[in-house]
Homo-oligomer: A and B are copies of this chain.
Amino acid sequence: MMPSLTAAEVAALVGGEIFHGPAERPISGANSLEQATPTDAAFFGNARYLPALRRTRAGVVLVPVDFDTAGMAADDPLRAATLIQVENPTLAFSKLVEKFAPPAPSHAPGVAPSAVVGRDVKLGAGVSIQPQAVIEAGAEIGDRTVIGAGCFVGQGVVIGEDCQLHPRVVLREGTILGRRVIIQPGAVIGGDGFGFQLHAGRHIKIPQLGGVRIDDDVEIGANTTIDRARFGYTHIGEGTKIDNLVMLAHNVSTGPHCLIVAQAGVSGSTRLGKYVTLAGQAGIVGHIEIGDRAVIAAKSGASKDVPPDSVLFGMIGEPIQQARANLVNVRRLPKLLEKMKKLEAELAELKTLAAETGGGRRLFGNPDADAASVEA
């Protein structure tokens, strides 16, 4: 059962004040302005959602302290809601979301009967091994870590304390996880790097004998893949957060606190500094360095070393001002082409004129002829 609060209790919880609508209205959920029903609370924190606000069916809406109902039409559905003024609607709403959230799934400590645990595995205190998981020989799992249903933990893998592996994660042999690492379902850590040598017309596999080291407080998204190193370790620095379907190739290393957004890819041996952001679908070539705090924009590339604090945009990764200027300039081309035509016409006319006048004598290489003959 979800908890239920009155609008007045909601106001008290978020430290706000009701200034419109009934205080006794029962609220049992938190949702967006667009999805909310009359038993939900919603919030209005950004002017771009004004149309959604006016249409909302939410029972309670958290609004900024300077909000009033003067601008609303008489028939705006919002008029039916209870409105609560708060300092910061976005933050206040987070409290409600947590209040109304369903309880997270519980993972009782212990090893599920259907899990398979190899020899010489060390399990810390309070570890939970969920159904159908496979833990291979010699793995070590830190206190309170949860290994989700159907996960695979390869031979000798080391996992720190308080980690959470969601279902169907694969950690191949040679993977080392720090503490409080969260891995979403389907991620694959430690697949072979993509390395081949062309020999007599065939691509011969270069052994990929290293591993993957993931530091404390890293989060890795669903179905993301991080390849093992050819030697040594592919390395993800402390606190770096990685979204879904990201590809990090062999021997990549990231500094701490990077953000790598969905579907971005980094080729082999490239090194990211700290606080680097790769936006969605960004792609980075191999063997380069991305400086601290650099940002590679969505869908953009980087093909050579990137200085710290740069913001790159575009397929070939130009500084964003340059890339934007290029775009603007390209759009000016139709006008430029037109002007060019006009200039050519005018110039031709002037030349004709010059030819017709005395100037023409010089222009056409006959300085001694008189003007009249040019006109003939």
Contact = CB atoms under 8 A, between A and B. Distances in A.
Interface in A27-72: 30-32, 34-36, 48
Interface residues of A, number: 129
Nearest to A358: B375
A339 B348 CA distance: 13
Contacts of A166: 170, 172, 191
A359 B332 contact: no
A329 B325 contact: no
B30 A231 contact: yes
Interface string A328-372: 011111101101100110110111011011110011000000111
Contacts of A184: 188, 191-192
Q: Which of A173, A244, A257 has the most CB of B within 10 A?
A: A244
Contacts of A110: none
B32 A251 contact: yes
Contact of A280 (B34, B221, B261, B265): B265
Contact of A170 (B93, B186, B206, B357): B186
Nearest to A32: B232
Contact of A152 (B31, B100, B149, B336): B149
A371 B372 CA distance: 7
